[in-house]
Amino acid sequence: MSNTTAPDPEGRTSLFATQPAETVAVKTGMFGTDDGDTSGFGGLTRLVHIAQASPRPYGGWFDEVVDFLAEDLAEQGVDPNTVIESVTVDRDELTLFIAKEHLVTVCQLLRDDQDLRFELSLGVSGVHYPGDIGRELHAVYHLVSVTHNRRLRLDVACSDEDPTVPSTVSVYPANDWHERETWDFFGIIFTGRDELTRVEMPDDWPGHPQRKDYPLGGIPVEYRGATIPPADQRRKYS
């Protein structure tokens, strides 16, 4: 994502990028067709977009939070434009796309600044966009300010070739098991922490089963040698 400035409707200038949504994939469903595939949704075709950056003003308290964070970063001698890649407001929710090398600093500032006070992290989730070249894997954090009754989302991207993201356990200790689960299911490696081991799949399980490139079937399961057939070989329900 590029960092450019753009005027908002009130004549102010945004610190961060504005750009159109990017289509990274086209998904089709095949349920109900004649090929026997029971994994899809009736011929549905859906475009997969990466959220677009929003112009200023964002509305409500969103501008205030972004400005406070930018001020805190500047006070530490860090250019906010190198940290906050873009800001998105969608369905009345605020998402900050953060450069991964600055993630821990951003979390620390969001937690400790008295004007921000996002004391609680609800965990870490993984997302896989195979078509988002160079940014295929995303770690998503949902933060809550109990003090100010506010919520925001952080989104950090990494590549298939370098699937690493700094651990936030030093700031939000409750993220410990969430990072392990995200590693388990998506293969994102959280660095700077101990015991990044699987929490749900067996330790010797091959691959990460919530990635989009993981096979839908045809793999052995741990029950008397049973197998799950590939989607196009399953029973037809029509």
Q: What is the pLDDT of residues 164-222, one digit of tens each?
A: 999 999 999 999 999 999 999 999 999 999 889 999 988 888 889 999 888 776 666 65
- CA gap 212, 96 in Å, rounded: 24
Task: Identify whether 38 is part of a domain.
Answer: no
pLDDT grade for 91, boundaries at 50, 70 and 90: confident
pLDDT at 237: 56
- CA gap 83, 80 in Å, rounded: 5
Higher pLDDT, residue 203 or 153:
153
Cis peptide before 220 (omega within 30 of 0): no
pLDDT at 221: 63
pLDDT at 18: 43
Task: Identify whether 32 is part of a domain.
Answer: no
Q: Are 141 and 98 in contact (CB under 8 A)?
A: no
Using one digit for the tens of pLDDT, what is the confidence trace for 56-68?
Answer: 899 999 999 999 9
DSSP designation for 149: T
Using one digit for the tens of pLDDT, what is the confidence trace for 10-43?
Answer: 444 444 444 456 777 777 665 545 555 555 555 6
Is residue 77 predicted with pLDDT exceeding 80? yes
Task: Identify whether 176 is part of a domain.
Answer: yes
Nearest to 86 by CA among 23, 26, 10, 6: 6
pLDDT at 152: 96
Longest Cα–Cα distance of the chain, Å, equals 68
Higher pLDDT, residue 199 or 5:
199
Task: Identify whether 127 is part of a domain.
Answer: yes
The sign of the torsion formed by the CA atoms of 171, 125, 123, 217 equals: negative
Task: Identify whether 26 is part of a domain.
Answer: no
Structural domain containing residue 143: 57-200
Mean pLDDT for all residues in the chain: 83
Task: Identify whether 17 is part of a domain.
Answer: no
Strand partners, 26: 47
pLDDT grade for 9, boundaries at 50, 70 and 90: very low
Using one digit for the tens of pLDDT, what is the confidence trace for 133-146?
Answer: 899 999 999 999 99
Angle of the 62-75 helix axis to the 103-112 helix axis, nearest 10: 110
- CA gap 179, 58 in Å, rounded: 30
CATH of the domain at 63: 3.30.460.80
Task: Identify whether 46 is part of a domain.
Answer: no
Task: Identify whether 20 is part of a domain.
Answer: no
pLDDT at 43: 61
Tell me, what amino acid is at 154?
A: L
- CA gap 29, 39 in Å, rounded: 7
Q: Domain count of the chain?
A: 1
pLDDT at 39: 54
DSSP designation for 53: P
Higher pLDDT, residue 224 or 213:
213
